[in-house]
Structure 1
Amino acid sequence: MSNRLLSVIRAVVIGGSVLATPGLAQDVDPLKMQAEAIIARFDTALRACGVTPPYVPGVIVDSAPSLVSYYLDDRSVHLSRWAEMPEGMQGMLGGWAAAGTLGLTPEQQFAEIFNSLLVPHELGHYVASLDGRLTSSDSWENEVLANRIAIAFWLQDTVPNAPVADRVANFNVFLGQLPSPVPAGEDPHAYFESNYQALSNDASAYGWYQGAFMRTAWAEHEGVTFCDLVKPSAT
């Protein structure tokens, strides 16, 4: 995802809170712990598929420059904290939550999208970086693949959450209301690749595309397992 609407569309966490445990250091970050738990389950799922990664991604909570992303240079998933979001971002999430389908507050909607749902999306980019698909595929294909991996992970995950179909619908409903930036007669995929920089600097346009990536991934999820998608031979 682009660094720009990584700021408007990537978030990570559903519902559950991390309870304090006696004996833990007082500076333990519940948000970081929750993401690390998702990553640990993702790593276990990878290894169950016969994939042995050379490292496990770390977690950095820095709330910038994007809401949620994976960076190759530090091999970490970067997260954002609701309390550190500017007023405009919190206001936008108010509209997103109001349009949402899970009945969440703006803060809960932020957490659901950017601190939970999309964490495995970023790990999808991590997997693609390990087997070469990140550089051999174009931007559209990389985003759709990351969403397909995220969907497949959540469908088999053992931690209770809202049904995956409901989580995807909640993600898409707001983005589906954004105006399409694709000129009449143009192919959305080709237009995205030809105009990537301009689109990535336009929050509304890139948001529309993020919805398109998720809808495409959801339409392709049936009959394809997590293992099918994370193995280097996957197509």
Structure 2
Amino acid sequence: MKKHILLSLFLLCVTSSLTFSQNGLFHRYTDSTLLVRDANVVRLKYQIRIAQKLGNILPKAKAILNTSPYLVYWDNDLFTVNLPIWSQVIEPQKAFFTELNKSKSKGEEMFGLFFNGFYIIHELGHGTDAYLTKKANRKYLDFYEGEYLANQIAIAYWQEAGYEKELQKCYEYALKFTKQLANPIPKGEDPIKFFNSKYEELSRDPYKYGYYQFKQFVEIYENRKTLRLDDLLK
């Protein structure tokens, strides 16, 4: 009985924290403490949601501040979502966001939407897939499939959690970029095979890697009405 009471109190605290923090996500943070706090509130909510279907997985997961050239990534050894804050992003990457948007302010807005918002769950999606793959002793997805699944999980989760306006803004940026960025796929090449064979090379080029990521986002978002988190977790 005591355990049930404690669990109920824990869920109430997490829910209350999310209500308090929800408006903070999906914008460019200037306070790293707030970024980590809000990211971990969402991380807890995601874990609770996943536990309803799969049990208590990713028990050690946490979000941390770790601004790097990768910007955001999942560390499968430490179980961490590594997040960047704008003030620590290197100048060439800041210039990329400005150039892509032809506006410094829009570049910062786009950074906040994706890297201080959407990709928190995207990276937890990678963690979920890696954990279950290892547990089931099955073959890992290829690079393209892995990114696609992480994007599906993120869009499905944010949609279910009520972040439709934020997803819409992400979609508007992603759609614009798919039309603006040059297609890096050589003529006659299969897009998925090319991505898998050139993954390391593509991941070092934000224009080419961005093309793939934004194209996946647009495709998944435009079919989101049939997207269900429970279906993905099967």
**When the two structures are superposed, what TM-score results if normalisation uses the length of structure 1?**
0.77
Deviations 1:11-42 (A, max 9, x none): x9414979xxxxxxxx9811101111111121
1:164 is the counterpart of 2:176 = no
Per the alignment, residue 122 of structure 1 pairs with 123
- Name which structure has the greater RCO, CA cutoff 8 Å, separation 6+: 1
What is the root-mean-square deviation in Å for CA atoms of aligned residues? Answer: 2.9
Taking the aligned partners of 1:69 and 1:214, their CA distance within structure 2 comes to 17
Q: Within 5 A, what are the aligned runs for 1:141-220?
A: 141-158=145-162, 162-220=165-223
| 2:72 counterpart residue number | 68
User: What is the aligned-residue identity percentage?
Assistant: 25
Q: How many residues align?
A: 208
> One-letter code of the match for 2:125?
G
Distance between the aligned counterparts of 2:207 and 2:182, measured in 1?
A: 8
Comparing both structures, which one devotes a greater share of its residues to helix?
A: 2
Q: Give SS of 2:183's match.
A: coil
The change in CA–CA distance for 1:106 and 1:193 in structure 2 (over 3 A counts) is closer
Where does structure 2 lack aligned partners over 5 or more consecutive residues? 1-23
Separation of aligned partners in 2, 1:215 and 1:97: 17
- Name the SS for the 1:132 alignment partner: helix
1:89 aligns with 2:97: no
Structure 2 counterpart of 1:14, from 26, 29, 35: 26
Deviations 1:117-166 (A, max 9, x none): 111110110110121189521100000000000000011114x5625233
Could you tell me whether the CA contact under 8 Å between 1:139 and 1:193 is conserved in 2? yes
* TM-score, normalising length: structure 2: 0.77
Give the 5 Å matches for 1:20-31.
29-31=33-35
1:24-39 matches, cutoff 5 A: 29-39=33-43
User: For residues 17 and 94 of structure 1, do their structure 2 counterparts lie closer, same or farther at Cα, with a shift above 3 Å needed?
Assistant: closer
CA separation of 1:41/1:98 partners in 2, compared to 1, >3 Å: closer, same or farther? Answer: farther
8 Å CA contact 1:60, 1:78 repeated in 2: yes
Structure 1 runs of 4+ aligned residues shifted over 4 Å read 97-100
Paired residues of 1:182 and 1:188 also in contact (CA < 8 A) = yes
Q: Which amino acid aligns with 2:205?
A: D
**Structure 1: 5+ residue stretches without partners:** 1-11, 19-26
Larger radius of gyration: 2
